[in-house]
Structure 1
Amino acid sequence: MINNHMQQYPHPSMASGEGRIQGSGPKKRYWTAKPRKNVIADHMSLVEAARLEMAVVPSKTPVTILQELLSKRGTAPKYELVQIEGAIHEPTFRYRVAFGDTVASGTGRSKKEAKHAAAKNILDKLVGNPVVDEANLNGTADAQCQILRNYDDKIPGNPIGTLQEMCMARRWPPPTYEMTSEEGPPHERQFTIACVLLKYREIGTGKSKKSAKRQAANKMWEKLQEYPPDSSQLTLDIGQRVGSASARYGDLKNSKISTLTTPHSQKVSMFHKNLKQSTGVKLTELHTAPLNGADFDFVQFLQEIATEQQFEVTYVDIEEKSLNGMCQCLVQLSTFPVAVCHGSAETSKEAQAAAAQNALEYLRIMTKK
C-alpha cells in the first residue's frame, strides 16, 4: 500500500530529480534536497537578487535583505543618522544609507523605522521601483510648487532640515530658535523668530511661526555659505567658546562645595513648612494671577508680596550676555534658604521682568496647599 500510495502522489521534487527513495523494506523514508534558491541568488546580479529576495521572502525586513545581499558580495551598507526634526515628544528621524555610488534615505517616528525606510528605498531604487521618500527629499517640480503654496515664502525645499544637516556634517552645535515677537490682529498675525548659531543671529518673519522659522533658517544657511567648512574664523569662534567655558568652569571640579548638614536640613524643612502655611492677600492672589499675561507687571507684584511677607528682593544684572546674545538678570529673595531665580531677554529691563516672573512661579509652587 505504501508503494502504491507513493506512486499515485509523488512528491513534487521527485519529478525534478531532487528527491529519491533511500533504502528498502519497511524503513523506507523520503529525503529532500536542500533548497537551491540561495545558490541561484549568489550567481545573479545584485539587481536580480534584490528583486528575487523582495518577492520570495516578504517576511524579511529591508535591513536584513540589504545586509544579506551585500555581505555575499563582500561589502556592507553604511547607515547615517542625518536629521532629527519635530517636537521632543514627537521627533522625526531621517537615515541615509549608502553603498558604492548608490544612496537613499528614509524617515520614521523612530530610528529603527527610519533605518528600515532607508533600506527599503535603496532596494526600490535598485530594482527600479518608485521611491516616494527620495522624491520628497530631492524635490520634484510638483513638490516644490506645493511647498511654495503652503508657505508662500519663495524658499524652496526644507531650509530648517538643510541647516541642521550642515551643522551635523561640520560637527557644529545645532541651531536654536527663539520666538522674539508676535504682532498684529488675530487674522493678520506677524511672527518674528531668531535663529542663533555660534555667534551669529538671523531674524525671520512670517504669517506663521513655521514660515518665520523657515526664513530665519534660510538666512542663517546663506550667511554660513560665506565661510568654507574649515574656515579659520569659524574654528576660532568655536575655540573661543570652548576656551571661555573651560575658563569659567575649570575651577568648579576643584572647589569644595559645602554639603547640607542635619541642622541646615531641619531649617530648610521648617522654612518650607512655614511658607506653605503663610497667609496674606497678595500671596493668595498669586495663585490666580495671570503669570503668562503679556501686560502683567511681574516686578511690581513680586515687590508687593515681598513687602507683605517681609523679605527683600534684590536684582543683579549680569554683564555677560547669554550664549544666545540675550541680557541676563538674577533676582534674589532674602528668604531662608536664599532663593535665586534667573531671567533673560532682549533688554535689561525685560530680563528683570523675566527673573521676577520665575520668582513668582517659584513662590506659587512653594505656597501651594
Structure 2
Amino acid sequence: MMKTPITVLQELMVKFSESPEYECVAQSGPQHLAVFEYRCAARGHVVSATARSKKEAKQEAARLMLARLAAAGLNVPAPYTAPCAPCPPVAGDGDAVAAGGGARSYKALLKELCQEYKLPGPEYTLEGDTGPAHARRFTARGAVGAHQRVASATTKKAAQQLAAQQLYQYLRENLARLTEDFVEEEALARAHERAMERYVEARADAPHRPDLAQRVADYHLGLLLHLEEEKVNLGADALEAASPDAEPETALQAVAGALGLRAEWHSLPAEGGSLTLVRLAPSSPPLVFCARTREAAAAEALAYLRLTMKFRDQK
C-alpha cells in the first residue's frame, strides 16, 4: 500500500528528530467555491499549495516539500523525488474562480478565451485512474479542436485544470499577436460573475427548508422571525392600506405579495361539500388556513396576519 505524502514526510523528518510544520494560511472565494492554501515548513524550506479541501491542500503541500527536499539532496523515497507543479485550485464546476485573485481557474480562462475568439469550446475526458484509494491519481484529457493535452493529478477536477492550463498557455504563446487584447483579470471577473448568477438562480429555485432549530413556542412568530424586516414593514403597510370593503382574496394577494409570499389554493373533500385551503408559502412553519369558501379562508389568513403585525407593534 502506497504511503501518503504526509506520512512519508513525517517519517523522513523523524530521522532528524524534527517534525514538519503545517498551517492553513488562506481561504478564498465564496463558501460554495472555497479554495484553501496550506503552507509546509521543514528543514529551512517553505512551500505552499492550494486545493478545494484542507486535506487535499495539506497532502499537496507535503508532496511539494518532499520534492524540494529531494532536490536539496535528501534521500526521499520514490515516487516523491521528482519535482512537480502544484495542482491549481478548482472552483465549483470548473468555470468559476474565487474572487480576490488568489485562486485561478485555467478552465475558466480557457473557456473565456475560446468564447472571445470563436474557438471550439474546450472538452474534457477522463482517461483513467491509478493507485490505491488513499493515493489515487487521475488522468484527464483536454481538447480544443485538434489541440489536446493530457495531465494527471490527485483529483479529477485538478487533472482537468492542469490540462486546461497547458492548453491555455499553448494558445496564448502561439496566438500571442492575435490574443494580445485578452485581459486575464477581466476574463476571470466575467467567469466569476456568471458563476455567482448561476448560484443565485439555483438558490432561488431551491425548495424551502424548514428551520429545525425553531422552538414550538415560537411557531406563531414564524413570519416575524424569518422574513426580512423590510418585507414585514411592507406587509404591515399593505394591511393598513387594504380597504375594509375590499374582497378578502384580493386583499390577501396584495399583502402576501408585499411580504414576499404567495397564496396557494387547494380544495379538500369533506362531509357535506368541500373545504378550501389557502397556504402562504414559503413560511416556517407552514401557514395554512381552512374554510368552506375561498372568501372565508382568505379572511382567516388576513386575521392571522393582522394579529401577527399587532404583536410586532407591541414588542
Common topology (TM > 0.5): no
Structure number with greater Rg is: 1
TM, length-normalised to structure 2: 0.32
TM, length-normalised to structure 1: 0.28
